[in-house]
């Protein structure tokens, strides 16, 4: 009988218990997930951060809009200049061709009378035809009329060359300005698209909270406007009493006094305000100056144009087009500018209020001048 053989115990590495196998599979799965995981998403911004970001984007877009307005105005002026120069060059070139033909006739006439045969090609291509005539001894044989024609040709040739150079430089300037125009336009569109994207991601609850924050800002701005109106009314009453007593000097100006400035200036301001009021409810569109839509400086420019006063197109130029006065001395029709970069403007209507084209998505409306930080107040007329 064969000796009994004891079976060899299984190798510890040969068989795995269910617990060990599960743990191993879990580890592999975790490692696989870690390897394939995408970068973690950025944390969602808070409502306050969204509000600030959107506000900043609107301001930046308005600044870019003013750059667009400036470039557009320059483009219009430069295009007119280029067109004028090119027309001038065309006229001069035509005259130059006529004069060149006449010079060729003179040279041929000299040849027929026995002078040395002229090199007509050299004559017509010469930088200075008079030098050519001198060098070929033809000048002595020309009549006084023919000599005058040579002088006129030289003058026309020089002037035409200068005008061509001027036109070329103006075209280069126009091209650069048009490039700036496109850049500003793209900048506005990019910032507005970013703002719309941020707002579109808000929940219904967040939009309601954002609207509540906006109402609070409006109420605080209105409170300050009412305070200014009371103060200016009190100042106007004090001036009236001083004037009645003969002790005051009629040097101040106020919203409610109605005594400041000449009758002509007041009449112009009334016309500007009447125009601005008629635009209330029309949409804000960047770069627009009416009649169906406006941006901020487009509205103020159009309003004062209706009063017979020409204002520049941009806020940066409008702020220089008049007399700077204090906020407490603001009168209806004055222009109120906002922010350190002077990127927004409205037209004052009294009682701390203005009419302005606010921002994309909004409409021309009345609003407290304290809704935004005031830069300065300017009286156009």
φ, ψ of residue 320 to 5 degrees: the values are -95, -5
What is the rounded CA–CA span in Å between residue 325 and residue 334?
Answer: 9
Q: How many CB atoms lie within 10 A of CB 94?
A: 11
Which residue(s) pair with 353 in the sheet?
A: 350, 368
Catalytic residue at 344?
yes
HSE-up of residue 248 (Cα within 13 Å, Cβ side): 15
Question: Prior bond to 291 cis, omega within 30?
Answer: yes
88: left (phi > 0), else alpha (psi -120 to 50), else beta?
alpha
What is the rounded CA–CA span in Å between residue 371 and residue 368?
Answer: 6
Catalytic residue at 296?
yes
What is the rounded CA–CA span in Å between residue 353 and residue 371?
Answer: 10
> Could you say which of 4, 137, 344, 375 is catalytic?
344
CA 377 to chain centre: 21
- 353 three-class SS: strand
What is the rounded CA–CA span in Å between residue 89 and residue 202?
Answer: 60
What is the rounded CA–CA span in Å between residue 124 and residue 80?
Answer: 33
Token pair for 278 = 């008629």
> Could you say which of 4, 137, 356, 375 is catalytic?
356
φ, ψ of residue 311 to 5 degrees: the values are -110, 150
DSSP letter for 9, please. Answer: P
Residue 229 exposed, middle or buried by CB count within 10 Å (0-12, 13-18, 19+): middle
Residue 187 Cα distances to 50, 64, 180, 284, 287, angstroms = 20, 6, 10, 17, 13
As a whole number of Å, the end-to-end CA separation of the chain is 132
Active-site residues, by number, are 296, 344, 356
């Amino acid at each position: 009988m064969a000796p009994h053989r004891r079976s060899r115990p299984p190798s510890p590495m040969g068989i795995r218990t269910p617990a060990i196998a599960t743990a191993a599979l879990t580890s592999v799965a975790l490692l696989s997930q870690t390897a394939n995981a995408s970068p973690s998403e950025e944390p969602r911004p808070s409502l306050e951060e969204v509000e600030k970001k959107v506000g900043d984007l609107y301001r930046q877009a308005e600044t870019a809009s003013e750059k667009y307005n400036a470039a557009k105005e320059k483009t219009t002026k430069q295009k007119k200049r280029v067109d004028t120069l090119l027309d001038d060059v065309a006229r001069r070139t035509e005259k130059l061709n006529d004069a060149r033909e006449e010079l060729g006739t003179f040279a041929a006439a000299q040849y027929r009378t026995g002078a040395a045969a002229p090199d007509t090609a050299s004559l017509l291509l010469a930088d200075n035809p008079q030098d050519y005539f001198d060098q070929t001894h033809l000048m002595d044989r020309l009549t006084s009329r023919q000599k005058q024609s040579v002088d006129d040709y030289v003058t026309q040739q020089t002037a035409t060359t200068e005008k061509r150079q001027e036109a070329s430089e103006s075209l280069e300037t126009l091209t650069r300005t048009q490039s700036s125009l496109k850049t500003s336009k793209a900048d506005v569109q990019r910032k507005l698209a970013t703002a719309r994207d941020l707002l579109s991601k808000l929940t219904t609850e967040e939009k309601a909270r954002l609207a509540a924050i906006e109402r609070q800002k409006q109420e605080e701005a209105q409170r300050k406007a009412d305070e200014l109106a009371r103060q200016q009314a009190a100042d106007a009453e004090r001036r009236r009493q001083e004037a009645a007593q003969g002790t005051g000097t009629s040097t101040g100006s106020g919203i409610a006094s109605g005594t400041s400035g000449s009758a002509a200036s007041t009449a112009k301001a009334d016309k500007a305000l009447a125009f601005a009021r008629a635009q209330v409810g029309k949409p804000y569109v960047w770069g627009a100056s009416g009649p169906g839509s406006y941006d901020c400086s487009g509205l103020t420019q159009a309003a004062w144009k209706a009063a017979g006063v020409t204002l520049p197109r941009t806020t940066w130029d409008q702020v220089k087009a008049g007399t700077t006065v204090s906020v407490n001395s603001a009168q209806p029709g004055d222009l109120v500018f906002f922010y350190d970069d002077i990127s927004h403007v409205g037209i004052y209507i009294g009682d701390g209020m203005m009419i302005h084209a606010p921002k994309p998505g909004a409409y021309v409306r009345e609003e407290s001048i304290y809704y935004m930080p005031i830069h300065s107040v300017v009286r156009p007329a």
